Amino acid sequence: MLERGQAAPRAPARWGPALLMALAFGVLVSIHLGRPGFFDNEGRYAEVAREMLLSRDLVTPTLNFALFLNKPPMLYWLVTAFFALGTVDEWARVVIVLASVITVLVTCRLGARLFGAGTGLLAAAFLATTLGFVLEARTLRPDGLLITSVAAALASWRAAEDASEERRVRWLALGYVALAVGILTKGLVPVALVAVPVLVFTLRDHGWGGIGRLRPWLGFAIVLLLTAPWHVLVATRHAGFAWDYLVNQHLLFFLDRKLPRDSVGDPLTLFWGMFLGRSLPWVVLLPFTLGEAIRGFRRGADARASATAFCWTWIAAVLIPFSIAPSRLEHYSLPALPAVALLAARGWQRLAAGELGRAGWRWLGVAAAVLVLTGAVGGMWGRSVLARVYWIHQARGLITLVLPSAFILGIGGLILAWSAYARRPRVVNVAIAGMTLPMLVIVLLAEVEVEPFFSWKPLAIAVRAQLPDSVDIVLEAPVEYQLVGGLAFYTRRRITLLEPVDFTPPTYLERIRDGLFLSRPEFEHRWKELVPLAFVSDPQRRRPTPEGLVPGPFQVVDRVGDRWLLINHPVGERSPS
């Protein structure tokens, strides 16, 4: 990545500060890790792991005790190992916390290599206080592992570029191991994300002959050795898996033609808006690096400009392909967050060095004004606007968080404005961090408040308390029937799935489709014949009243968020509807 004669910033010999920062992040982000209950997208992974533990089968994942091969197994394996320790609950999120600790450490070391030791530590601190990264570190889904895989692979390549021949091969091998972990987590996605910045700068500095420097055959051997056994075993056991995995889950999904149609791509504006939101607050410093990045794409650019261009290429490798793909989901931008932190640290470094002139301080003044205005508007009208949301009466605690949020934003904006006026770079960080840390606490409290709308746990408590095991629970399954995972996890039961409308199963499920769902005519027959049934409505659909959900008389056992729990037989002293 550097021309001969250019000296790259060297990483410090001691790992102590980086380890201390990463471990401190892990401890702090684990506070109250068991709250709230698993959200819907987490519940499926927890339930697959629970069933793996029960079946002692680490090859074939099942969900609701039916074949489930939509995702590779790495997250399931890690959570199963945690469950095997004896605690089958939300603390399984510690798996993602540990992965995030590694990401903070990797970001610190990569930042030290690219921009200097102090900037590496600053980048790690920025990442550890980035809104999207903190929330993802407490979320049980594969994306936390994907972030680690991508960051570790790119950091290994970058270290290989600066190393001697012998050590370069070792670093490349470590990078390919990180890629293999990513493949076992999220399929071929990490390969695509890592390949873009690596190839761009390899070709820039070494031409096509530089491809050999990447030791592609070594990489192919390592990845094949680590990933092939599971894929081959599953493909030989389950007909249809290979086509579904390679074609349906990758190519057709990218083109938004995957079957079943169990996800709907997010609008481009939402995708980019969520990227900016997840990158808060440090994204405000990224404009300070744009000019340097443009210079850094030239061959022969100085070390820091070249490093800045590399980080922007990392972000582009994540955002541009998913911006093109109609199947994009808002959280697909997550692997770009370490690059955001690195660029933010470099931006602050340039600000502190006086490289930006008045323009940088004016930009911070604009950001401060936006914060003060947001705080003022939120303080005056935020509660009344929030109160108009139809479900807010079930999460009244959110309203109490409005005024503290407005106050924090306003005060933070005023301090940032003063730091811009007085041109105090250190106070910039104090203002932004001092505002961000309490806002993170408020966001985590808000997650607890909205638990009824995004988690099966509250409804499952009612099921376990009021319905005997002999009662069959029927879920009005959406096309994304995997939402059953959280309900099965918290009730510790196999849930009967009411057949979705217009459902086309993946190829590996075609032979067992009839056993996967309960037909609607059969459900209506059982309900009317008073076979003991409980009905749970589709949580993705808003139903203000329970009328029309079931074919005959019913009783309401509970309502949590948009989830109705109805029965066709008496329970306790509740009166029929």
Select from 352, 380, 403 the last residue of a domain.
352
The dihedrals phi and psi of 164, each to the nearest 5 degrees, come to -70, 170
Angle at 217 between CA 213 and CA 223, to 5 degrees: 115
Shared domain for 340 and 406, answered yes or no, is: no
Tell me the average pLDDT across 398-406: 93
Of 340, 339, 342, 296, the C-alpha closest to 2 is: 296
Cβ-contact 267, 277 below 8 angstroms? no
Amino acid identity at 308: T
CB atoms within 10 A of CB 131: 19
Residue 14 has pLDDT above 70, yes or no: no
Mean pLDDT of the chain: 91
Which pLDDT band, with edges at 50, 70 and 90, does 128 fall under? very high
Tell me the average pLDDT across 173-178: 98
71 lies in some domain? no
Shared domain for 142 and 268, answered yes or no, is: yes
How far is 516 from 87, CA to CA, in rounded Å?
29
How far is 135 from 144, CA to CA, in rounded Å?
10
Tell me the average pLDDT across 426-452: 93
Which residue's structure tokens are 């992974």?
45
50 lies in some domain? no
Amino acid identity at 560: V
How far is 184 from 74, CA to CA, in rounded Å?
5
Shared domain for 139 and 274, answered yes or no, is: yes
Shared domain for 251 and 154, answered yes or no, is: yes
Helices 484-491, 40-55: inter-axial angle, 10-degree rounding: 50
User: What is the longest distance spanned by two Cα atoms in the chain?
Assistant: 84
Shared domain for 97 and 27, answered yes or no, is: yes
Model confidence over 251-264: pLDDT tens digits?
Answer: 877 777 777 777 77
62 lies in some domain? no
How far is 547 from 213, CA to CA, in rounded Å?
67
The number of domains in the chain is 3
368 lies in some domain? yes
Of 448, 372, 435, the C-alpha closest to 408 is: 435
How far is 268 from 333, CA to CA, in rounded Å?
12
Shared domain for 348 and 256, answered yes or no, is: yes
Shared domain for 371 and 325, answered yes or no, is: no
Shared domain for 194 and 328, answered yes or no, is: yes
Share of residues in the chain with pLDDT > 90 (%):
78
Select from 449, 477, 503 the last residue of a domain.
449
DSSP state string for 65-76: TEE--SS-SHHH
Select from 400, 420, 449 the last residue of a domain.
449
84 lies in some domain? no
How far is 207 from 205, CA to CA, in rounded Å?
6
Burial grade of 217 (CB within 10 A; 0-12, 13-18, 19 or more): exposed
The dihedrals phi and psi of 328, each to the nearest 5 degrees, come to -55, 140
The per-residue pLDDT for 11 is 46
Residue 365 has pLDDT above 60, yes or no: yes
Total residue length of the chain:
577
The per-residue pLDDT for 572 is 57
Pairing of strands 555-560, 563-567: antiparallel
Residue 6 has pLDDT above 60, yes or no: no
| Range of the structural domain that residue 264 is part of | 16-34+89-352
**Helix (H) / strand (E) containing 472:** strand 472-476
How far is 436 from 424, CA to CA, in rounded Å?
19
7 lies in some domain? no
How far is 391 from 449, CA to CA, in rounded Å?
12
301 lies in some domain? yes
The per-residue pLDDT for 345 is 97
Residue 68 has pLDDT above 60, yes or no: yes
Report helix, strand and coil shares of the chain as percent, to nearest 5: 65, 5, 30
Which residue's structure tokens are 């390969």?
191
57 lies in some domain? no
Instruction: Enter the pTM of the model.
Output: 0.94
Model confidence over 134-147: pLDDT tens digits?
Answer: 999 999 999 999 99
Burial grade of 406 (CB within 10 A; 0-12, 13-18, 19 or more): buried
Shared domain for 348 and 412, answered yes or no, is: no
Tell me the average pLDDT across 541-566: 92
User: Which residues lie across from 473 on neighbouring strands?
Assistant: 534
Shared domain for 443 and 533, answered yes or no, is: no
Shared domain for 491 and 553, answered yes or no, is: yes
How far is 275 from 102, CA to CA, in rounded Å?
22
Higher pLDDT, 388 or 196: 196
The per-residue pLDDT for 510 is 83
**How many helices (H) and strands (E) would you count in the chain?**
25, 7
Shared domain for 407 and 527, answered yes or no, is: no
Burial grade of 163 (CB within 10 A; 0-12, 13-18, 19 or more): middle
